[in-house]
């Protein structure tokens, strides 16, 4: 088993469930350290019942994680194959997001036995209705909005909260709805800065003297109204955290004349203990993945379909990202003043 990509509350619950289910079968499990770096460098650790005791409520991953991708080096696939042979493994359970499961799907095509478990706080993986870690991230972001409300009200300010979400606005939309934000900006719908300011000004004209704006890190302005700071990318081609929030602070502050402050929630929403919902979802996915591995149902991924856990094709996870639908966007619009 390995955990790859950005960490996520609930990873340890998956690891624990896999180990416990394997124990029930009499199967052995080992963990590769730091995502795909583990099999590439043959860095392993024993995963006994003792090793997973007490980890259920812990954030992060006891196996470590990285963004190493075996397909970014010529010998990557061979090294993964060799690591599996060296430890006489029947197959591999890969727990990860877009990059990790993308590599897992390609490895399966190359003849490596793999089962996937979808993970991301961003909730944007295909093939599943929801990912674990999302509920925790929304909880953290909602608490941040609640806290920003009281200071916004005390100082007559516009408070901007930038949350994670490179390609999809799930965290912004759900925390914005739960926290009663006045403006929610998401990557699915480029925003017009003039309209955003006009909406805020209408609110002030109605006698309100503060406002909350929630923005996804990947949200972009339309028509080049403000520099496309959200489009700045890191070495992986991802929108940079802390780009759009502070830029909006400047623009909105200057245009409306209201004191404006931005908070970038950053990795706080990815750390710490998972909610009960995420612990349960992660546990159910881990059990299903281990059952599939035991039965030799390789090339599949454990997924939440409505309220049931089902195995789907691993390739489905990365075939298309799951973004907010027009209906999701309409709900938010209908609620905004
Ligand atoms: O896990 C996905 C994600 O949280 C994105 O929303 C964010 O852009 C990215 O991870 C940040 O990752 P890193 O830990 O590499 O800064």
The pTM of this model reads: 0.95
Half-sphere exposure in the Cβ direction for 335 (13 Å, CA): 17
User: Would you state the structure tokens that stand for residue 145, as one six-digit string?
Assistant: 């909005």
Structure confidence at residue 240 (pLDDT): 74
pLDDT at 331: 86
**Percent with pLDDT over 70 in the chain:** 95
pLDDT digits (tens, 9 = 90+) for 151-163: 999 999 999 999 9
pLDDT of residue 241: 86
**CA–CA dist 329, 327 (Å, integer):** 5
Sign, CA torsion 19/22/26/28:
negative
CATH topology of domain 2-133+274-317: Rossmann fold (3.40.50)
> What is d(CA 105, CA 316) in angstroms, rounded to the nearest whole number?
9
Of 166, 171, 172, 271, the one to substitute when testing ligand 1's pocket (max ligand atoms within 8 A of C-beta) is 166
Question: What average pLDDT does range 88-110 have in this prediction?
Answer: 97
| Confidence grade of residue 78 (pLDDT, cut at 50, 70, 90) | very high
| Angle of CA points 11, 161, 132, to nearest 5° | 20
pLDDT at 232 over 70: no
pLDDT band at 225 (very low <50, low <70, confident <90, very high): low
pLDDT tens string 12-52: 999 999 999 999 999 999 999 999 999 999 999 999 999 99
For residues 222-247, give the mean pLDDT. Answer: 67
Q: What is the predicted pLDDT for the residue at 249?
A: 96
Of all protein residues, the one whose alpha carbon is nearest to atom 9 of ligand 1 is: 6
pLDDT in tens, 280-304: 999 999 999 999 999 999 999 999 9
Nearest-atom index, ligand 1, CA of 164: 6
Between 235 and 252, residue with greater pLDDT: 252
**What's the pLDDT at 25?**
98
123 lines ligand 1 (CB under 6 A): no
Where does the pLDDT of residue 237 fall: very low under 50, low under 70, confident under 90, or very high at 90 and above?
low
CATH topology identical between 2-133+274-317 and 137-269: yes
- H-helix or E-strand containing 31? strand 30-32
What is the reported pLDDT for 260?
Answer: 98
Question: Hey, CA dihedral for 307, 308, 313, 317, is it positive or negative?
Answer: positive
Residue 273 has what pLDDT?
98
Cα–Cα dist 174/168, whole Å:
12
Atom 12, ligand 1: residue with shortest CA distance: 6
The residue whose C-alpha atom lies closest to atom 13 belonging to ligand 1 is: 6
Q: Return the pLDDT at 189.
A: 94
Task: Map out the domains of the chain as residue ranges.
Answer: 2-133+274-317, 137-269
Instruction: Tell me which of 60, 122, 245 to substitute to probe ligand 1's pocket, judged by most ligand atoms within 8 Å of the beta carbon.
Output: 122
Residues annotated catalytic, as ranges: 122
Ligand 1 contact via 162 beta carbon (within 6 Å): no
Instruction: State whether the beta carbon of 166 lies less than 6 angstroms from ligand 1.
Output: yes
Residues in the chain: 337
What is the three-state SS of 178-215? HHCCCEEECCCCCECHHHHHHHHHHHHHCCCCCEEEEE
Judged against a pLDDT cut of 60, whether residue 321 lies above it is answered with yes
Supply the ipTM of this predicted assembly. Answer: 0.95
Instruction: Decide: 6 in ligand 1 pocket, CB within 6 A.
Output: yes
Query: What pLDDT, on a 0 to 100 scale, did the predictor assign at position 226?
Result: 54
How far is residue 253's CA from residue 269's CA, in Å, rounded to a whole number?
A: 26
For 137-269, the fitting CATH number among 3.30.1490.100, 3.40.50.460, 3.40.190.100, 3.90.1300.10 is 3.40.50.460
Whole-number pLDDT of residue 224: 58
The C-alpha atoms of residue 128 and residue 304 are separated, in whole angstroms, by 5
Q: Is the CB of 99 under 6 A from ligand 1?
A: no
Q: How far is the CA of 165 from the centre of ligand 1 (A)?
A: 8
């Amino acid at each position: 088993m390995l955990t790859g990509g950005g960490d996520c509350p609930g990873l340890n619950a998956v690891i624990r469930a896999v180990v416990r289910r394997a124990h029930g079968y009499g199967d052995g499990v080992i963990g590769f350290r730091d995502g795909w770096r583990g099999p590439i460098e043959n860095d392993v650790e024993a995963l006994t019942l003792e090793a997973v005791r007490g980890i259920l409520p812990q954030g992060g991953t006891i196996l470590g994680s990285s963004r190493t991708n075996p397909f970014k080096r010529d010998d990557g696939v061979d090294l993964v194959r060799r690591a599996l042979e060296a430890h006489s493994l029947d197959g591999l359970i890969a727990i990860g997001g877009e990059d990790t499961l993308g590599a897992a799907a390609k490895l399966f095509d190359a003849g490596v036995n793999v089962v996937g478990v979808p993970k991301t706080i961003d909730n944007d993986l295909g093939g599943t209705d929801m990912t674990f870690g999302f509920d925790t991230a929304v909880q953290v972001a909602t608490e941040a909005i609640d806290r920003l409300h009281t200071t916004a009200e005390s100082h007559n300010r516009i408070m901007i909260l930038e949350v994670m979400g490179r390609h999809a606005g799930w965290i912004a939309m759900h925390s914005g709805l739960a926290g009663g934000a006045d403006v929610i900006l998401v990557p699915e719908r480029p925003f017009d800065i003039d309209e955003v300011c006009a909406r805020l000004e209408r609110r002030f004209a109605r006698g309100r003297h503060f406002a909350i704006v929630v923005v996804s890190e990947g949200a972009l302005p339309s028509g080049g109204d403000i520099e496309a700071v959200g489009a700045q990318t890191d070495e992986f081609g991802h929108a940079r955290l802390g780009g759009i929030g502070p830029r909006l602070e400047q623009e909105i502050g200057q245009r409306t004349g209201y004191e404006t402050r931005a908070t970038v929630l950053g990795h706080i929403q990815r750390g710490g203990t998972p909610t009960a919902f995420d612990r349960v979802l992660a546990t159910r996915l881990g059990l299903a993945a281990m059952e599939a591995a035991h039965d030799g149902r390789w090339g599949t991924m454990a997924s939440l379909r409505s309220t049931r856990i089902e195995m789907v094709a691993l390739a489905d996870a990365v075939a298309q990202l799951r973004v907010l639908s027009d209906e999701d966007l309409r709900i938010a619009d209908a609620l905004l003043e």
